[in-house]
Every structure is written in C-alpha cells, then in structure tokens.
Structure 1
Amino acid sequence: MLERLRLQSTFVQDQSGIAITEFAICLPLLLLMISAGIELTNFVMVRQQVSQLALQVADNATRIGTQTSVQTQVNEKQVNDLFQGANLQATGMDFQRNGRIILSSLEVDEDPPKGQYIHWQRCYGSLAYPSSYGVEGDGKKTNKGSFTGMGPTGGKVTALPGIPAIFVQIGYQYQPIITSRFVPTGPITETATMLVRDSRDTSGPGINPVAGVTPSTC
C-alpha cells in the first residue's frame, strides 16, 4: 500500500512533459500568428510597389514623345513601350495578368465652355478594373461643360490651358504567398498624376498612329 502511494505521489510530482504538452497546444496559434505576420508584411510591400509604379508611369508619360521644332508628339509605339517598361518594373507580380493600368490625358477643351476633358485613354493588363473617374471623350463627346476633372470628390485633378495632366489609375489583384484570409479583399488601387513638362502636341487624336502597332485601347 505504501509502495503504491509512493508511485502515485511520484507520478503527480513529475512535470517533465508539461512543457512539451503546452508547446503542442500553442504551436497552431503560433504558426497562425507567424503566417498572418508574413502575409500582412508582404501585402504592405506589394501595396507600396503598386504606389511607386503609379508614380513612375505618370512621370514617364509626361516625358515620352518625339521632339519636333515646335512641339513634342506622342505615338502609339511610345505608349506601348511605356507599358512594357511598367511591366518590367513590376517584376514578380505577373502584372499583365493580375493588374490594370489606365493612362489618361486630361486636357482643357479649346472650344467653349473650355472645360476639362479626357482627350485620350490607353490601358494595359487583363484585370477587370474599369476607370473610376471617366473614360476617353468625357467632357467633350459626353458631359460637355459638366466634367470638372479626374479624381475623387474634393480632390479632383485639373489640367491647365495648353498643359495636359497625365492621370494614372492602377488596379492590382494581390496574390497571397500563404493565404488571403489575413489581407483585405478586392484589388489594390492607386492613382497618380503629373503635368506634362514640355509643349505637347494635343491636336487630332493626341497620339499618332504607327504602322504595324496595335494601340492599347481600353
């Protein structure tokens, strides 16, 4: 009887397996927290990359063109090259499949009432992401006089007389590395705008056609 009591007392006092048991219980929660941290960190980095891409596209679009003796002329090949450069900048994101760039030239209509209008608009990428702030022809062919610029209410971008504003919208569907449960749903969206820095030719279609080159229309 005494021997049995001693064995029971020894068994009760033996705590050598408690740490392993507690670790086994906490391991799933620990892995969940690590996974969430990795996914959220990656999401923030991708969002920053999309924001930088929007700024870069807007900046490059203000510089492209062929300088003549009077003005800078833009053609379809130069716009397509701009998009290819953006795709290279987004290396690893498979942007052509998962993203969409909407590039717009916002200008002042020379005809009365001399309001804002979208002269031309070009797109790149397969993501179903429509423009939130207007399409080509808005302010001229449609909504003439009532189209006041591009951007959210209270923060609309406007062009200056003779100086177009390049407006860029980007949508990108985030591709999780572990799971999408820890990040916001829907595409990452960013906008950027810059004024053209040279005397750009805005006559005609605004973008000159090039033989054998397919325009990146929206």
Structure 2
Amino acid sequence: MPRTSLLQRFCRDKGGMAMAEFAIGLPVFLTLSVGGIEATNLALAHLRVSNLAMTVADNAGRVMSGVDEADIYEVFSGAQVIGESIDFEANGRVILSSLEANGQSGSNAGQMIRWQRCWGDMDVDPAYGEQGDGRFDATLATGLGADGHSIAAMQGTALMFAEVTYAYQPLVTTGFFPATTIRYESAFNVRGRQNNAISNTQSLTVMDCD
C-alpha cells in the first residue's frame, strides 16, 4: 500500500478523539465540581455559625427570671444542636458575655462584663474583655464590639453579647481554600429580667472561659 494512502487513513481516523478529549477535560470538570461543592459547604458553614451566634444571644436574653447556670446549659445545648452538622463543639468556641452599666459616675462611668461563659473546644480568648472588666472604671466605656461598631447596655438592663468562632473543616483537603476561621458576633437585650446576676442553684460546673 502506498505510503500516502496510509497517511491519509491515519489523518481520517477519529476513533480516539473522544477519549483524548475526555482525558483532557476530566481534570477540569472534577476541579470545578469539587470546588463548587467546597464553596457551597463553606457558605453553609458561614450560615450555621451566624445562626448559632444569633440564637445564643437571643435565647440568653429570653430568660425572664434571674439567670442561672442551668439556663446557660440550656442555651449551649441549643448551640450544640445547631452546630452538630459542622462538628462545631470540637472546632469552635462560643463566648457569651452579660454586659451592663457599671453604676460608676464621672470618669469611671461605663460598661462592665458582669459574667461570662464559654462552650466549645477551640482555644479562643474573648476579643473585647473578660468577666469583671469595666466594673470599677471606664475601660469598656463604649461597650463591646469592634471600634466604631461597639454596643452598650441601657441603664437598668443587660445585653447578651455572643462571640462565635469556628475553624472551618473542609470536605476535601486539596487546598481549594486556605485555612479559614469563621467568626460572627451578635447581641440582644434581655427581656424584662430584673436580676442580671447569675446564680447556681443546682451546683453545676461553671462553664467559664479559663
């Protein structure tokens, strides 16, 4: 058979083209698919953490009578249910602070953190202050929160301020996203509570932030 005829047959043969195109396109398809799934998972994690912050602050503010350690256990039990799907307890931290006016006058007037409770295994310190801060001075004059966005409690009441931090757990460890820490804050006024000191009528283990 003439050499030119063999060459023409080879050029017309498209039997392996589909396989070659598949081999070239597969990595791109997998990358886009896995990346899209990972992005969706990250967005859902943000939603969970945001919802958890609002729920903790809101539920803590809904305790009408004097707040007890048992109430804190119930609030954090609700947080556990919300965060179960993202394994929040092992990889996150909730810091709940009770913010009130410190009752001081003059240059010492400001806000104080009467009590503070934490839940979750992540090692995170409170961002704006610890229990007892501001009690006798104006170190928390504007309340809690980032500069320019702080919030304070009104006289005669308290504010429940929740800081929630979570170390995002990716579905695949292929470097689609760098190490990501998700953080949200939320604050709610208490509803009609007259006594904002915390009691421990059942002698429960205090879920402090040490």
TM-score normalized with structure 2 length: 0.92
Do the aligned partners of 2:163 and 2:186 also contact (CA within 8 Å) in 1?
A: yes
1:89-168 matches, cutoff 5 A = 89-112=82-105, 113-140=108-135, 144-148=137-141, 149-168=143-162
Q: Distance in 2 between matches of 1:126 and 1:214?
A: 16
For 1:47-58, what aligned pairs fall within 5 Å after superposition?
Answer: 47-58=46-57
TM-superposed deviation, 1:29? 1.8
The separation in 2 between residues aligned to 1:39 and 1:48, in whole angstroms, is 14
Q: Which runs of 4+ in 1 moved over 6 A?
A: none
Q: How many residues in Structure 1 have an aligned counterpart in Structure 2?
A: 206
Unpaired runs of 5+ residues, structure 1, are: 66-71
Q: Identity of counterpart residues, as a percentage?
A: 37
Q: Which residue does 1:81 correspond to in 2?
A: 74
Contact 1:57 1:168 in 2 (8 A): yes
Superposed displacement of residue 184, structure 1: 4.4
How much has 1:18 moved relative to structure 2? 1.6
Identify the residue that residue 213 of structure 1 maps to in structure 2. 204
What's 2:7 paired with? Answer: 8
Q: Residues 156 and 180 of structure 1: is their aligned pair in 2 closer, same or farther, counting only changes over 3 Å? A: farther
Kindly state the Cα deviation for residue 102 of structure 1 after the two structures are TM-superposed. Answer: 0.2
Change (3 A) 1:64 1:184: farther
Query: Does residue 196 of structure 1 match 2:195?
Result: no
- Displacement of 1:101 in angstroms is 0.4
Q: For residue 183 of structure 1, report the CA deviation from its aligned partner.
A: 2.5
1:139 shift after superposition: 0.7
Mapped partners of 2:194, 2:174: distance in 1 = 44
Q: Which amino acid aligns with 1:84?
A: S
Q: What is the alpha-carbon root mean square deviation over aligned residues?
A: 1.5
Change (3 A) 1:81 1:73: same
Give me the whole-angstrom Cα distance separating, in 1, the residues matched to 2:121 and 2:151: 26
Partner deviation per Cα, 1:157-181 (whole Å, 9 max, x = no partner): 1110011111000011111112262
Contact 1:43–1:183, Cα closer than 8 Å, also in 2: no
Letter in 2 for 1:129: V
CA contact (8 A) 1:80 1:215 kept: no
1:149-207 per-position Cα deviation (integer Å, ceiling 9, x unaligned): 100000001110011111000011111112262234232100000111113303xxx11
Matches within 5 A, 1:17-56: 17-56=16-55
Residue 49 to residue 209, structure 1, CA distance change in 2 (3 Å): same
Q: Is the 8 A contact 2:63 2:191 kept in 1?
A: no
| Equivalent residue, structure 2, for 1:68 | none
